[in-house]
Amino acid sequence: MKKPPSPKRLDRPESIPTTSAVGFPPNGSASGVGYVCRGSRLQWTSAAGFLSTLFSLLISAYPFVRVISPRIYTLKIAATIVTSNLIAIGFYKLRTRTSQKQKATLSKAA
């Protein structure tokens, strides 16, 4: 029985394969995990997701009820959103840096 080819590494842009029109990899496998659809529905869906997220952030920062100071309310909500996103980015950076160190350690050991 023939061994399937190992998946390409996605940490280098030149190794990112494109997909066929239906969203599956060109090699015909049914698993599209890790593959990027350039110029397809994925980019449009990502843009729509970004716009809906931006819209929800604007709605959450706008005071629909009476508050003492709408400007202070908006600033507090916006500061909370920005702070939580910065914390999330920090966790992401920490996690990716840790996994890169682990990969480097494993490659040196091998």
43-95 pLDDT, tens digit per residue, is 889 899 999 988 988 888 888 889 999 999 999 999 999 999 999 999 999 98
Domain containing residue 73: 33-109
Which residues are CB-neighbours of 107 under 8 A, at least 6 positions away? none
**How confident is residue 21, by pLDDT bands cut at 50, 70 and 90?**
very low
Q: Per the domain annotation, does 26 fall within a domain?
A: no
Q: Per the domain annotation, does 53 fall within a domain?
A: yes
Question: Which stretches of the chain are DSSP H helices?
Answer: 41-61, 70-109
Q: Is the pTM of this model over 0.75?
A: no
- Say what the pLDDT of residue 63 is: 87
More confident residue, 17 or 71: 71
Residue with tokens 């023939």: 2
- Say what the pLDDT of residue 43 is: 86
Rounded CA-CA distance 72/78 in Å is 10
Residue 106 has pLDDT above 90, yes or no: no
Q: Per the domain annotation, does 27 fall within a domain?
A: no
Rounded CA-CA distance 40/100 in Å is 30
Q: Per the domain annotation, does 6 fall within a domain?
A: no
Rounded CA-CA distance 103/90 in Å is 20
- Say what the pLDDT of residue 17 is: 52
Q: Per the domain annotation, does 67 fall within a domain?
A: yes
Number of domains in the chain: 1
